[in-house]
A and B are shown apart, each in its own frame.
Chain A
Amino acid sequence: MRSRLGEVLERMSGVVRSPMNRAAATTERALDAGQLFEDHQQLVETTETALSISSGSGATATQQRQALDAASDQIDRGKNRIRELRGAGQALRERLEQMQIVALNAGLEGARLGQATGAPLLLVADETKAQVKRALAAVEEQSAMLNQLEAAREQLGEQLATARAHSAKLAEELLRTQAAQRDAHRLATGLGERLSRATGADPEVARSLTRVRTHAEGLIAELSALSARGQPAVVEVMRPYLKQLLRLARNLEQEPGGS
């Protein structure tokens, strides 16, 4: 069925393709340039995105380094605190040892006085000795726990030092990555200017031409499909657009440089 839609499509296709038919080589070069400019635009945008992401990563790395530094300070403060606790424990141990000596002397004196007179003194001495013994055992236990805490702190400090070294290396590598990305972005931007000089084409026009071609090919493909299915109503729907397209196509043909 050769419908009016088919005729319109053929004419449109002819209008769109006519420059190519008449100056195929020139048009192909322009379209290639358009595609190049399109690719270049994407390249520039990609390098900008990469630069933005690596800048964000750099900020995160800085925050990580600050957090690790803060943790390291905390560990150092913990070391001082453990030292203070150890000193307090040592002072306590010395006081208890003194008390133990007092209790030993009281026990000796009570025994010397004999059972009748010295019994109360012996009782107090025995009780004091027992309490001091328990207190000294508790101090020893605390000292052992402090030793464990100190060992854990040292281990944590070593692990943190490793993490800080890795963080510093990561920050250094990120800086190098950012520098490389800035170079890539500068090169990509410069490439656009060189492309423009090499092809003699305006990048915006070339990209527009590529987009027009893509859209026109898409339009033709869709309309061809509808035509094949025999949909005369499409002509009525498309009439205002098709008229506008034909008018634009004629105008383009009549402009200087148009064929």
Chain B
Amino acid sequence: MRLDGWRIDGFGGLAGWQVEALARHELIVVCGPNESGKSTLREFIATAYFGFAPAQRELNPFAPADGRFGGALQLVDDAGERLSIERELRSAPRGRVYRATTHDDLANRPLPALAGISRPVYMDLHSLGLDDLLRVDSSTWQSVEDRLLAGSALAFLRSAADVRRGLDEEAAALWRPDRRGQPEARRLRERISGLRAVEREAAAARRRLDDIDVELTAEREREEHLRRTGSALVARLRRHTDLAPALAAWRDVERLRAEAAAILPRDDDFPGDPADAVDRRRAEAADAERAATAARRHADHLQALADVPDTVRLLADRAGQLRELAAEEAGTADLRVAMATAEAAVKARRAEADRRADAVLGRPLEPDDRAALDAVRTADLRAAVTAAAVPVRRSPSYIAAAAALVSALLAVAGVGGRTLPALAAVALAGVAALIARSTAPRRTGPSVAAAVGRLAVAPSRLAMPDAALVADIDGLHAAAAESDAAAAELHRLRTMAGTRATRLQEALRQLGLTSAGQALQAVDDALIRVAEARKAGEQLSQTIADADRLAGAAVAAAGRRDALLIKLQAVRPGDGLDAAVSAVLTARRLRTAADERLRSANAAFGDVATIAAEAAEDEQNGTPLLLDDAALAQLDAERAANATALEELQHRRGALVSERHGVASLPGVADAAGEAAVYEERLAAAEYRRDRLAMASSILLRAERQFRERHGPSFLTAASAYLSTITGGRYERLLIAEHSGTEPPRLEVVRDGRPVPVGAPLSRGTLEQIYVALRLALVDEVDPNRLLPLFLDEALVNWDDDRVDGLLPLLSALQGRQALFTTCHPAMAARLGAIGAAVIATPDLPRLPAHVA
């Protein structure tokens, strides 16, 4: 790549400066005074290559106050093709590269042919100012070295050092072998350590919790014991204070009861007023006795009434019979009348029967006729009689003949006509026929004789049997029956009269009575007596029961009376009833007083009996309820000590409870352990990641060294050759003594066979020559093919003539790479022009840059 010219429309203080036809020159010198635009030209060329930086016109220090900001740079590439880079910065940067037939838009991008060379590298290697000649910028060095020494100049790869630096930074952020910084692993370890401490604390707390619970249980038991003891002491004191009156009362009660018992040992069950009670019981006994006696008497009376003599009872038992017999006797006259009547009736009936027998039989009725008479069947007889009665049956034939005649007459007389006499004749003939037929003899039924059977009916009557016969026989039958009935009635009456007389006589005989009248009177008396006895008997059982009950009551009343008397006499044996009653009343008064005392004491102190019993038990147990002063003082001291101990214990317990609450509120073991486990995982991951990054960095470093070893010698050889050429062989070789990390290399030069560190002992000119040599070698490595022109801005100002002379053969050694020098010394320009350099004078500055203006 060769520089052929430029056209600066406006850039810094330069404007309207155009130069052409430089491509054929190896060396170009721009000469001009200070501030004439030489350094501005350097920036213009860099801008043409890489674009505006910054790309905002108002920020760019080379932007003119007005007018176009930019220009064009003409180049000839390695193939001999011309190209022109046009750049202009208006509101936005514009860029275009023109070739013979084509052009490409660049916008603000670098020229594509410069790929792999960044603007800083270019500015530090290809385009040097005076200040750049004392060193190589560390970042430039690193970048260049990476590309040249460790990886060749591949545009698509990042600097291995950059990558390692990134890896190392990332690794260091995760873990560091030293104590510097606060890497992730340290923070995690601290966190884990904290959590493990929490876990240990939690575990200890959990165990402490158990211990506290045990202690609390013991404390609770101790507290309970102290409370019980304290309560017992207080209770004892209180009992002493509170219950002493109760005990005094109880003792009064006991005294009164003892006095009463001395008089009357047993409980008083005497009536309220014993004397009055004695009187009352005596009266009650007497009354009961009287009532019992009366009742007994009444019972005896009723008993006497109830006892009826057998004779009276017999009379009463047979009263009905006797009365009936007497009645029968009284009714005998009537019976006689009836018998007389019956006898008359018998006679009358018998006469009637005989009369009727005479009509039928032709004689009086005989006893033997009765059966025959009863055997006659009236119906059969009537039939037989009817059959036998002929004269009576002829009368209808006359009547029939008369009727026929009358009919015929009626027919002739009433109708007239010739046919009627015939019809009348026929009718009469019929009637005659009928009459004739009816009057013809007929057969008879049963005979009358047979019908009357064995009844000896008078033959005359049989000869002319008729209805009268039948009626007579019926009448005879009825009369015979009535005659028999009358005879039967008379017989009955006579039998009855005989029976009655016999029975009456027998009864009277049995009762020793003589007459029926006497018997009736005796019966009445007996019935009255029996009625009285029944009534007495009905009352008797109740009366006897009442008598028995009253007798019992009398006995009981007497018993009560006697018991009271005996009981009273036992109180004061031999002292009489009044003394006994007085003693009872005295004892009673004492007991009443005791009870009253007890009631009031109970009301005041509770159950004083129980209190007394407990006191007695306490006494037996050695803790007497009533205390003397010494005992009271000791008890009070014990109580105070107990209260103090209890207070201390409660205080301790409160502290334990508080501690327990605090311990229980701590995070749990599992909580801390679980969190710590996660952080441990993260720590392991961080450490692994860090080691991985460190391994990657280490591998890159090793790979880099391999390349350094492979490419380093040629680079240093080239730099040494350049240096030797420039210094006329004074300095033989350039070495890299040491290089690590991001620091620039420590260089050494060999002079007279000995290495000399590149630094202060060397002159400025020598240092500049060393770095020029180094840059030329670097440029060769970085840019072996594109041969970008070098730009050395006032680079030779500190060089002596010999060194400048030495530079000339060096330039010939650049193998086609152009070099553009600027100088403010016309002599230097002339010197270079003498050896074939194109010398260009800077134009007058037509205007000032915007930021200067």
Whether chain B is bound by chain A comes out as: no
Footprint of B on A, CB under 8 Å? Answer: none
Footprint of A on B, CB under 8 Å? Answer: none
